[in-house]
Amino acid sequence: MPRSGPIAAALLFCAALAPSGCNVAGGGSSGPITTPAHPASAADLANPIEVSSSGGVANVSLAAVIDPATGGPAISYNGALVIPTIRISPGDTINVTYANELPPSTVEPLNATSLHFHGLTVSPNAPGDDSIDILAMPGQTLHYQINIPASQPPGVYWYHPHPHGESNWQVYNGMSGAIVIDGLASIASETAGLPERIMILRNVLQAPKFSLLSARRRGAAASSTSSVCSQPFGIGGEYTTIDGRDAGGPILMQPGKQQLWRIINASADGYFDLSVEGQMLHLVSIDGVALKQYPGGTEQNVADVVIPPAGRTDVIVTGPAHGGVAFRTACFDTGPGGDPNPPQVLGVIGIGAPAGLPAVPVPGATPRALGTYDEPVGAAVAQNRTVAFTEDANGFYLNGQQYSPTAAPMFVAQSGTVEEWTLTNATTEVHDFHIHQVHFIVLDVDGAPQPARWTDSFTLPIVHPDGSPSATHVLIDFRNPIVRGTFLFHCHLLEHEDGGMMAKIQVL
Ligand SMILES: [Cu+2]
């Protein structure tokens, strides 16, 4: 039977509110375990290669190309199909040259591409993080200059293509990389010196096909009679990788020794409900911002942590006494109209010294530059707005409108203010609210208060059994003067975004 609304809603927040109850609502380790598509590597999980800033600047040249092994689009770096982590410090600049070497096409996919620098509080104007007007057709090359404010919270962010109508296709094919902003230990001092793993989780396809992933794949909610938690992936040949390695391989740890796992959900539409068998996870950051950065915020030990599409988390994991312990994802119930996210073993902890991992830098003598995210958001609300998430057989909507690249902004806001938005979901599947350039604070979900913390991707529970929409209240922070211009907010289930569940906001 499909889960009822309240149970599904409770599951979304189990990590925050009731860690001990998570496995009851979430299905825990029960249900089918999806076998990895290929035999897992026997070597320790390695971090992606890195490009670091030098003299305050990181220069990265990337290209969008066809991966000959899959026939799908991919990102290449220095002629190889690897995607570097960009490692910088607050105040640095990222220069990215991005060449579209995909073949011209007159039918979908048209092979347009672009990049979004997810989670960074940077300018939305070209040549910055402009996901509306910057777009490369095949043969064209883009040049981004991303100036990171000195007050940017140290943490994990990521970059991925954002061409409307083709985002799902490109991200599903694994086009994404990590951005690490050093300095976490200046807020979360217990992370100083810990070995640091960058773990990019992606659900990808063995035989990619655009028609399977286009916005017209489902449209109307599916009328499944069984829980999505008893179903395998909805697309044949879908499988999960960590940094391109098939799920299930070894992760080396030493008994009693800690590591910082910096995890990105870079799947296009997939949820992960992460745990390490028999262990608590020490939750340090959500979506790039340390929990302790918000005034009064505290870290937590949790049994599991749910990461929606585009979300990130930093957790401290302590090495178990013996090997063979599973790092797994439980099924995440997206509602009767949603996509399956089956349980899987993502990695198996082996006993041994990890080699080649960087250590979290110990803070220097110069204090970190403080910014708006260090200040309480306060009670002054300049504007109240409502955003209704709906869908039908023709697509996906915000306030009844499908996204058009030429449409006027849905909202006009004033720089320097904080707004309260009510996000309603009238559908039988969850949606994943994301707004570019700024983080927000979730006040409550259907009246249930949420911890005061910054986030940039948040799950909206499904419609109530009585047919009334769920309601999530958030405070959106437009106080940083760097954020002036027109940018996007949308559902980060990219099938929904491509299907129209996106709109513009202009900040004056
Ligand atoms: Cu959605």
Residue type present at position 226: S
Rounded distance from Cα 238 to ligand 1 centre (Å): 20
For residues 188-193, average pLDDT: 97
pLDDT band at 4 (very low <50, low <70, confident <90, very high): very low
Rounded distance from Cα 423 to ligand 1 centre (Å): 12
pLDDT of 464: 97
- Whether 391 has a pLDDT exceeding 80, the answer reads yes
- Whether 28 has a pLDDT exceeding 90, the answer reads no
pLDDT of 40: 54
CA–CA separation, 377 vs 488, rounded Å? Answer: 22
pLDDT band at 216 (very low <50, low <70, confident <90, very high): low
Residue type present at position 185: A
pLDDT band at 2 (very low <50, low <70, confident <90, very high): very low
pLDDT band at 226 (very low <50, low <70, confident <90, very high): low
pLDDT of 238: 87
Q: Quickly tell me which residue has 């001092």 as its tokens.
A: 189
Average pLDDT taken over every residue of the chain: 89
Q: Which DSSP symbol is given to 64?
A: E
pLDDT tens per residue across span 133-161? 999 999 999 999 999 999 999 999 999 99
| Lowest-confidence region among 205-214, 279-288, 347-356, 444-453 | 205-214
Rounded distance from Cα 142 to ligand 1 centre (Å): 29
Query: H/E/C letters for each residue in 164-202?
Result: CCCHHHHHHCCCCEEEEECCHHHCCHHHCCCEEEEEEEE
Rounded distance from Cα 430 to ligand 1 centre (Å): 6
CA distances from 173 to 104, 107, 206, 234, 269 (A): 18, 18, 9, 16, 12
Share of the chain above pLDDT 90, in %: 81
pLDDT tens per residue across span 45-103? 999 999 999 999 999 999 999 999 999 999 999 999 999 999 999 999 999 999 999 99
- What domains lie within the chain, and their CATH numbers? 1-365 (2.60.40.420), 372-507 (2.60.40.420)
Decide: helix, strand or coil at residue 346.
strand
* Beta carbons within 8 Å of 276's beta carbon, 6+ residues apart: 317, 320, 325, 326, 327, 328, 349
Rounded distance from Cα 493 to ligand 1 centre (Å): 5
Rounded distance from Cα 216 to ligand 1 centre (Å): 14
